[in-house]
């Protein structure tokens, strides 16, 4: 007999993360956290990403005792500079102009809080080499995709793939916002059955 899974909560309002988690076929709810996502003084982009994933999960877990809660955060690192969500057309163009011809490291942090309160973490990284691009090309892409809610303004799952020369990653879903291979491991370790008999 398969053990019933604990309540599963995704600590995010991101539609991309919801769509990715739906691939695992496990019932879940989604609830955004209410935390300050500003980087701290002296904090690297990766450190900020890892801290925020945990803080998001803890904020939501406090409202759902006994649940398994997933927190995640992503940052784009351009030579040590954190690139967040652009939010506007102008900022998106500015980001992509700075990125063109460079290699960007996208770090996606996971934090899973088990029903007993144990926190498990994993960091997935993707290296993206951007093509040399003209402003005209960048503006055409931004106007078609409006990638204002994506760190670094490039959506690999859509037309953003055309902006990229190469992609190297430890998880094909990491760049979209939720590394499902790593998440499967953390969920299994936290008592959630993804597939019967699956070992972490």
pLDDT digits (tens, 9 = 90+) for 24-74: 999 999 999 999 888 888 888 899 999 999 999 999 999 999 999 999 999
Active centre residues (catalytic): 73
pLDDT at 83: 86
The pLDDT assigned to 20 comes to: 96
The pLDDT of residue 82 is 84
pLDDT at 149: 87
What pLDDT shows up at residue 2? 54
Q: Write down the pLDDT at residue 158.
A: 86
Q: Cβ-count burial of 129 within 10 angstroms (0-12 exposed, 13-18 middle, 19+ buried)?
A: middle
**Within a 10 A sphere around the Cβ of 50, how many other Cβ atoms?**
21
Q: What is the CATH number of domain 8-189?
A: 3.90.950.10
Domain ranges within the chain, ordered by starting residue:
8-189
Residues of the chain with pLDDT under 50: 1
């Amino acid at each position: 007999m398969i053990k019933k899974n604990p309540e599963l909560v995704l600590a995010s309002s991101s539609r991309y993360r919801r769509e990715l988690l739906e691939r695992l076929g496990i019932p879940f709810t989604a609830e955004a956290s209410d935390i300050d996502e500003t980087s701290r003084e002296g904090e690297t982009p990766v450190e900020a990403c890892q801290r925020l994933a945990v803080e998001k999960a803890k904020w939501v877990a406090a409202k759902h005792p006994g649940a398994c809660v997933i927190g995640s955060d992503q940052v784009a690192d351009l030579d040590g500079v954190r690139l967040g969500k652009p939010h506007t057309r102008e900022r998106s163009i500015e980001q992509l102009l700075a990125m063109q011809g460079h290699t960007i490291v996208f770090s996606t942090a996971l934090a899973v809080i088990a029903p007993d309160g144990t926190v498990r973490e994993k960091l997935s990284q993707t290296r993206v080499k951007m093509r040399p691009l003209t402003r005209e090309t960048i503006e055409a892409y931004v106007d078609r995709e409006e990638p204002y809610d994506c760190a670094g303004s490039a959506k690999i799952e859509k037309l953003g793939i055309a902006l990229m020369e190469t992609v190297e990653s430890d998880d094909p879903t990491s760049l979209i916002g939720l590394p499902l291979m790593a998440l499967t491991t953390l969920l299994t370790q936290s008592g959630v059955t993804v597939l019967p008999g699956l070992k972490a």
